């Protein structure tokens, strides 16, 4: 039924507590320490903090599902991009709150934690299904996880939780869908204009100018000059690898890149020409993915430090090595590394290949293009 066909709404009076189901929500903090005699003062904070996290995870899962639903189509409309950017920005704001919540839980001292920690075994954060859902929807694949993470994934979850996550792993994730969307991007070839040939020339000019600057720098010792010149050769090889599909695919197979070759080039083009109006929303989108990824890495790193402060070298209630395990997953469970790597291949605006007029017009706003046309034709 469409919105117009819905019967007219006659709202019922509803009270605050009823709407928010506060009876249920506020009676869901059961202290384990209470069960064994004396309530540990800080256990309420411990439970509420985790519950608040799970609520925010629920919102993040919801926003990611909505974004994935739109991207899981053969085309994404421009007006949908605006909505997607709004939802992703919301996720970054929620992440700011998630990071701050660590300050709240750190008001509990390690000694206070010891009043109830032994009662929590084997419960652990890595049984947070929603956290795993977020990881999977973003694009973390099982084979990418460190062995300990994979083992816990398999052994610490219930059968139905495992089935739910396995199903999710078989569905398209944000990384794959973003890659498919990038691959569909037009503008990379335009008539006779081969952008990547022009780009390769611009790179060579830039490296040549860098070589000259190094060669003429009187402050450098012969040894330093040699070192810097060989660094330029390394850059040259990197640029060449990205422009050569076969080399890129080799590096991708070795795990250095995740996006397809065409997807990576499209992301690079968007970043290079982000000042063109048509590139602005795609640029915002890619930047938000990078920020969300970075915010999760920040959270993981902060959580790992908190665990070190709280537990020292003790193992976790879930049985991992604690701080050491968490430092490893902080490093490993990143998704959009390619978007970080893009900066290697950026050129200064002044060195960018000039786009043919027609292409530049296609990337501009229509009314601005029409105005320019009117100005040149005098109509």
Q: Which residues bind ligand HEM (CB under 6 A)?
A: 49-50, 53, 105, 113, 124-126, 128, 131, 149, 303, 307, 310-311, 316-320, 322, 325-326, 329
- State whether residue 159 is helix, strand or coil: helix
In the bound state with ligand HEM, the residue whose beta carbon lies nearer, of 258 and 303, is: 303
Helices (H), 184-276: 195-216, 222-243, 245-253, 261-272
> To the nearest whole angstrom, how small is the minimum distance from the Cβ of residue 103 to ligand HEM?
11
As measured in angstroms, the least distance from the Cβ of 149 to ligand HEM is 6
Find the shortest distance in angstroms from Cβ 96 to ligand HEM. Answer: 15
Is the Cβ of residue 318 or residue 369 nearer to ligand HEM in the bound state?
Answer: 318
Task: Output the smallest distance, CB 27 to ligand HEM, in A.
Answer: 21
Closest distance of CB 50 from ligand HEM, Å: 5
Of 122 and 277, CB closest to ligand HEM: 122
In degrees rounded to 5, what are phi and psi of residue 91?
Answer: -60, -40
CB of 294 to ligand HEM, least distance (A): 16
The least CB distance from residue 106 to ligand HEM, in Å, is 8
Say how far apart CA 16 and CA 167 lie, in whole Å.
37
Minimal distance in Å, beta carbon 124 to ligand HEM? 3
Answer yes or no: are the C-beta atoms of 294 and 333 closer than 8 Å.
no
Tell whether omega for the bond before 255 is within 30 degrees of 0, i.e. cis. Answer: no
Lookup: tokens for 194:
């081969």
Nearer to ligand HEM, 319 or 364 (CB): 319
Task: Give which of 215, 340, 171 is closest to 271, Cα–Cα.
Answer: 340
The smaller minimum CB distance to ligand HEM, of residues 149 and 176, is found at 149
Looking at beta carbons only, is 86 or 312 nearer to ligand HEM? 312
- Consecutive H or E run containing 68: helix 43-71
124 or 294: CB nearest ligand HEM: 124
Among 88, 80, 102, 81, which Cα is nearest to 60's? Answer: 88
**Under 8 Å CB-to-CB from 120, ≥6 apart: which residues?**
32, 317
The single residue listed with the structure tokens 């890659």 is 179
**Cβ atoms 47, 31 nearer than 8 A:** yes
How far CA 84 is from CA of 78, 282, 338, 340, in Å, comes to: 10, 11, 21, 21
Rounded Cα distance, 252 and 254, in Å: 5
Residue 111 or 222: the one with the smaller Cβ distance to ligand HEM is 111
């Amino acid at each position: 039924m469409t919105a117009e066909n819905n019967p007219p709404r006659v709202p019922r009076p509803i009270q605050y507590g009823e709407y928010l189901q506060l009876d249920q929500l506020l009676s869901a903090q059961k202290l384990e320490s209470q069960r064994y005699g004396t309530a540990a003062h800080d256990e309420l904070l411990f439970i509420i903090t985790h519950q608040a996290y799970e609520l925010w995870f629920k919102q993040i899962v919801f926003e990611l599902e909505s974004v994935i639903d739109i991207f899981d189509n053969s085309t994404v409309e421009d007006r949908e991009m605006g909505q997607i950017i709004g939802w992703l920005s919301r996720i970054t704001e929620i992440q700011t709150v998630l990071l701050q919540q660590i300050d709240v839980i750190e008001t509990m001292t390690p000694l206070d934690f010891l009043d109830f920690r032994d009662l929590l075994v084997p419960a652990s954060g890595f049984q947070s299904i929603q956290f795993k859902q977020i990881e999977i929807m973003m694009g973390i694949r099982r084979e990418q996880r460190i062995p300990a993470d994979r083992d816990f994934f398999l052994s610490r979850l219930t059968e139905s939780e495992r089935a739910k996550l396995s199903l999710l792993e078989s569905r398209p994730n944000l990384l794959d869908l973003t890659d498919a969307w990038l691959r569909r991007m037009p503008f990379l070839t335009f008539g006779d204009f081969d952008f990547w040939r022009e780009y390769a020339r611009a790179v060579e000019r830039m490296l040549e100018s860098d070589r000259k600057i190094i060669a003429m720098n009187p402050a450098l010792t012969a040894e330093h000059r040699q070192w810097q010149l060989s660094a330029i050769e390394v850059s040259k090889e990197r640029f060449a690898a990205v422009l050569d599909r076969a080399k890129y695919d080799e590096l991708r197979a070795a795990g250095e890149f995740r996006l397809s070759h065409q997807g990576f080039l499209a992301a690079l083009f968007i970043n290079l020409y982000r000042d063109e109006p048509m590139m602005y929303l795609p640029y915002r989108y890619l930047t938000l993915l990078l920020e969300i990824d970075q915010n999760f890495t920040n959270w993981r790193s902060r959580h790992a430090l908190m665990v070190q402060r709280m537990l020292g070298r003790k193992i976790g209630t879930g049985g991992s090595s604690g701080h050491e395990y968490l430092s490893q997953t902080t490093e490993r469970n990143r998704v959009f590394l390619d978007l970080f790597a893009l900066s290697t291949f950026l050129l200064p605006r002044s060195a960018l290949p000039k786009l043919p007029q027609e292409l530049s017009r296609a990337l501009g706003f229509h009314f601005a293009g029409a105005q320019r046309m009117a100005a040149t034709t005098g109509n």
